[in-house]
Amino acid sequence: MRKLIVFIWLILLGSGVFALFWYNEWQYTLPTPVPKNYSDVAFGKQIMPDKNLSFKNNKPLFLHFFNPDCPCSRFNIKHFKSLVSQYEGKVNFVVVLLTDKYYTPEEVQKKFDLKVPVVVDPDMALQCGVYSTPQAAIIDKNHKLYYRGNYNQSRYCTNEKTEYAKIALMGLLQNNKHLVFNQFALTAYGCRLPNCTQ
């Protein structure tokens, strides 16, 4: 009888662990709910970065919207860092920290080994139409929004054919004004911003 109870208990425990894992995987495959007060920001809209995001070198600006507590953001950080290493010198990269917990930019830089500026600027998310993390926004030299969307269709950014943020970055650097992206690039997936409500 004791072996049967232990066996049933192990089955229940294993089922619970599996259900929790499945739920976590499943919830991040769904689009992030659009907040009720959301106003879409069209590509080509003028974006006015504040002094923390002003560079005097006349290069495009790549904004990485990041939340250290978001699993999707943590999965994505390696891919973001690979973009920085490939395109530094051609593009200004900045991590925009979006979280309801207090982290200093220095803590985030150290924890994730980031060699780019980290700023706390929720207004940039509003200006760019970002309501989840991780998201990329690319602003051209004339301060116009060129791209806002996902990094990849794959949660772990491993699908080279759907490297949306990289494709957009290459398109901007090649002066391609006619890039077209599918719904997986432009529909937000990931964690909701702390100040967004359904």
Q: Which amino acid is at 23?
A: Y
Residue 198: the pLDDT is 36
Query: Is residue 30 situated within a structural domain?
Result: no
CATH of the domain at 120: 3.40.30.10
Residue 156 lies in a domain: yes
Tell me whether residue 164 is in a domain: yes
- Using alpha carbons, select from 38, 36, 35, 33 the residue that is nearest to residue 129: 38
Residue 158 confidence class, pLDDT cut points 50, 70, 90: low
Give how many domains the chain has, as a whole number: 1
In a domain, 141, yes or no: yes
Q: Which of 60, 115, 54 is nearest to 90 (CA)?
A: 60
Window from 129-138, 156-165, 189-198 with minimum mean pLDDT: 189-198
Residue 122 lies in a domain: yes
Q: Give the domain range for residue 136.
A: 56-192
Contact 124, 49 (CB under 8 A): yes
pLDDT at 64: 97
What pTM did the predictor assign?
0.82
In a domain, 18, yes or no: no
Q: Kindly report, residue by residue over 66-99, the tens digit of the pLDDT.
A: 999 988 888 889 999 999 999 999 999 999 999 8
- Residue 119: the pLDDT is 94
Give the C-alpha separation, 8 to 28, whole Å.
31
